[in-house]
Chains A and B, each alone.
Chain A
Amino acid sequence: MAKSAKKAKPKKKPSTNTKTNTMNSQELTTGALVAVGAPHSQQVGITFTFTAGLGQATSSLFRKGVLINMQSISSSGSVQFSEAQSGDVISVNGICTGNATIVIDTPTTPATPDQFNAGLIIAGYLIN
């Protein structure tokens, strides 16, 4: 009897009731999200000033790998992230055709104001 005729053993089906493996499932709780406030939460404002040309930017707030909030602006002004926490990361993607200045009204790493010349704006800030 050829060995190849041996009936293949069916693979074990993955369990359907196991926990979903997100990249941060170990620390992500409902309380960590912006939907629920926390005593140490704060409102963080990001001010964009575009000079000598138009500009546009999108800023996103990440907490432990999860996107919490995202806001865009197409002229000089501010966006507000309510319920931001220490350790959150703000990403900024955009364009300025003249110059741009980003100011975050809370201590961050790296510190702001941050200046950009004409071109793409690609930046990130950790809320201290």
Chain B
Amino acid sequence: MIGKISGFGVVLLLCLSVKVVAQNPNPILTADSLATGNYKDVLNSFFQLAFERLASPDKEIKFTGTPFAVMAKLDTTLLVDTAYLKYRTLRNINYMFALKLDTSFRFNGFASGIKYAIINKRDETVSRAFQIMVLNNPSVKQLFALNNNILAKISAMPDAASAITEYSQFTKGAINFGQLSPPLQATILAASNTDSTQALNQMLLANSSFNMATTANNIYQELKDNFNQNLLWTVGVTDTTYKNQFVFSNIVIHSELIKGLNKFTKAKNDLELNIRSALQLLDDSLKVGRDLKRVLFSFEPGINVAFKTKTTKKSYLEMKFSGGFYHNFSYLYANEDRNRVFLNGTVRVRIMNDIWVPFEVKYDPRNGNLFGFINVRANFKALGSAAKQL
């Protein structure tokens, strides 16, 4: 009965999420499709729904969100930059609720958690430094100078109205340079023939399919991608309850750090440093009753490699290699080591724009054991997009 109720709850949650996104496209829900799956797992800026350990006896349906996303949904004036900046702290908080299910998909416990980004140098939406970097970019300066030069010339043209209508289509990317009328082409070439815009002039002369919006967008995305490789460090607490009485069965205090390693290089693929550590407080099953006296520490440094498409720069496959060191601070069980070392591997495959399937493999070199987990993680944006395609 509880299993049915939890299943119904998940379906309802999905329906609500689709409805919310489809009704009013929220700017919070639109960005980040270019971010790596690993980054989204560490801190997400909107909502994420995850189906974890699908092949394991202990399955989990997890919802992650930010308080700010919910607040902004209720009051869209919070999205205006002056208010948006004030809620920076709130935007760095993630909360999580999860339903744990057994092999028969019946309720097997509840989990919740909170996470805070102590250092978040990746959020370009609140970074003045990012704006300055973009505005000081030589290519951006050229585009702005060209825009001013062209508009100055249009203001002196006898038929300025038709010229600016056509030029607006060009700036919006609706038409390429070659599709402009010959007089406007000549005006743009003349406007670009200055010292400050000489590179653009050469580009226009050589390429009739030059698209101003695409060019501007590519420059911006490249700068944003590089900025999104900055340091992110989060800390948090997660707890799990038993399926009855709602007493904590474990509490995990965790920290995670990610940082891009090949920033500002022309490399096609991203390299990302990922360091995790956690302190787990668990029930000591050798003792009668429920307690949290078993204390385990883990430390997992790793490297995430994201393979990206050539033109859109979206990662379609990610591979993470990490080591794991585990230390038991409490009483040891029979045949249990105080210190253990694992080798971990995770492969994330993007099956849709916002849906990732991570497959995790853990190898114990000492005992030769191999463990595997498979998860599915979907952002609500993807569900909204899927609904529109129906």
A53–B84 CB distance below 8 A: yes
Q: Judge whether B71 is part of the interface by a CB distance below 8 angstroms.
A: no
User: A90–B150 Cα gap in the complex (Å)?
Assistant: 11
Query: A54 → chain B, closest Cβ, in Å?
Result: 5
Chain B stretch 187-240: residues in CB contact (< 8 A) with chain A: 212, 216-217, 219-221, 224
Binding site for B on A (CB under 8 A): 23-24, 27, 49-56, 58, 60, 62-67, 75-76, 87-91, 93, 95, 97-99, 109-110, 117-120, 122-126, 128
User: A115–B196 Cα gap in the complex (Å)?
Assistant: 28
A126–B160 CB distance below 8 A: yes
**B interface, by DSSP: helix, strand, loop or mixed?**
helix
A124–B147 CB distance below 8 A: yes
Kindly list chain B residues whose C-beta atoms are within 8 Å of the C-beta of A98: 27, 31, 79, 81, 84, 125
Known A91-B147, A98-B81: A54·B135 in contact at CB below 8 Å: no
**A interface, by DSSP: helix, strand, loop or mixed?**
strand
Q: Which of B81, B165, B220 contacts A109 (CB 8 A)?
A: B165
B125–A65 CB distance below 8 A: no
Binds A, one of B126-134, B331-339, B340-348: B126-134
Q: Judge whether B148 is part of the interface by a CB distance below 8 angstroms.
A: yes
Q: Judge whether B70 is part of the interface by a CB distance below 8 angstroms.
A: no
Query: B120 → chain A, closest Cβ, in Å?
Result: 14
Q: B68-85 CB contact bits vs A (8 Å, 1 = yes)? A: 000000001001111011
A52–B154 CB distance below 8 A: no
Q: Judge whether B288 is part of the interface by a CB distance below 8 angstroms.
A: no
The 5 lowest CB-CB distance pairs between A and B, nearest first, are A53-B125, A52-B27, A89-B155, A65-B156, A93-B144
Query: A81 → chain B, closest Cβ, in Å?
Result: 13
Q: Which of B81, B160, B161, B221 contacts A55 (CB 8 A)?
A: B81
Kindly list chain A residues whose C-beta atoms are within 8 Å of the C-beta of B126: 53-54, 97
Interface size on B, residues (CB 8 A): 46
B125–A76 CB distance below 8 A: no
A120–B131 CB distance below 8 A: no
Q: Judge whether B364 is part of the interface by a CB distance below 8 angstroms.
A: no
A97–B131 CB distance below 8 A: yes
User: A93–B212 Cα gap in the complex (Å)?
Assistant: 13
Q: Judge whether B273 is part of the interface by a CB distance below 8 angstroms.
A: no
Kindly list chain A residues whose C-beta atoms are within 8 Å of the C-beta of B160: 87, 89, 126
Kindly list chain B residues whose C-beta atoms are within 8 Å of the C-beta of A118: 31, 220, 224
Specify the chain A residue showing the minimal Cβ separation from B147. Answer: A122
